[in-house]
Amino acid sequence: GQQLNQSPQSMFIQEGEDVSMNCTSSSIFNTWLWYKQDPGEGPVLLIALYKAGELTSNGRLTAQFGITRKDSFLNISASIPSDVGIYFCAGPFYNTNAGKSTFGDGTTLTVKP
Amino acid sequence: GAVVSQHPSRVICKSGTSVKIECRSLDFQATTMFWYRQFPKQSLMLMATSNEGSKATYEQGVEKDKFLINHASLTLSTLTVTSAHPEDSSFYICSARTEETRNQPQHFGDGTRLSIL
């Protein structure tokens, strides 16, 4: 099946540092989604991207939809302890039906106070 | 907006029991709902897609007789794990989306931790 390659798998950073993670695919996406999952809870939508080249911010988070439609990155600036969690990229592929999304394997973020 | 409620949040039961999990969209009409399974430290694995009023579409390798899905209304879908065994223990998460406008993302419930003894 089609896959998303998400990296890095995990990150250990100091509070206040900036974070960057990305997803790539061999297939074209028509939407890129970024979610955060806290332990024992469901994923929460952070940012949704709909156009190639689109750059969108949500507070300290910034995400971009790659020009080739095959990649996206998520940046977190000035990290704080509550940023800890697992971040997933996801998206429906171009011309897919049923609105199904495929998820990356996640980036586990640990922030040291 | 876009709140999805999942119930129960945790179930512990004996092997052989059937367990029903409910997923409700509270403030929008969910034309499509999805059921996922997640093992510790892994990503979400899609089990099935359900559309209101029609049969669910199961992903390859998911037993439809084992995981019964009903999507009887635009705000409610249920997943029943029939005759559950310890290997069915997992974190089950539902999500819902509307197609009233294009490219709407999925919104997730808080998950159900199922433990079979």
- Cα–Cα distances in Å, from B89 out to A25, A46, B14, B61? 31, 29, 11, 17
| Chain A contact for B62 (CB, 8 A cutoff) | no
- Compare all CA atoms of chain A with the CA of B37 and give the residue at the minimum distance: A42
pLDDT digits (tens, 9 = 90+) for A68-97: 999 999 999 999 999 999 999 998 765 555
How far is Cα A72 from Cα A61, in angstroms, rounded to an integer? 13
Nearest to A90 by CA among A74, A77, A112, A75: A74
Which residues in chain A touch residue B6, judged by CB atoms under 8 angstroms apart?
42
User: Is pLDDT at B59 greater than 60 in this prediction?
Assistant: yes
How far is Cα A32 from Cα A88, in angstroms, rounded to an integer? 11
User: Is pLDDT at B100 greater than 70 in this prediction?
Assistant: no
User: Is pLDDT at B99 greater than 80 in this prediction?
Assistant: no
| Chain B contact for A50 (CB, 8 A cutoff) | yes
- Characterize the bridge pairing of strands B10-13 and B112-116: parallel
Structure-block tokens of residue A104:
């990356």
Helices (H), A1-113: none
H or E element that contains B23: strand B19-25
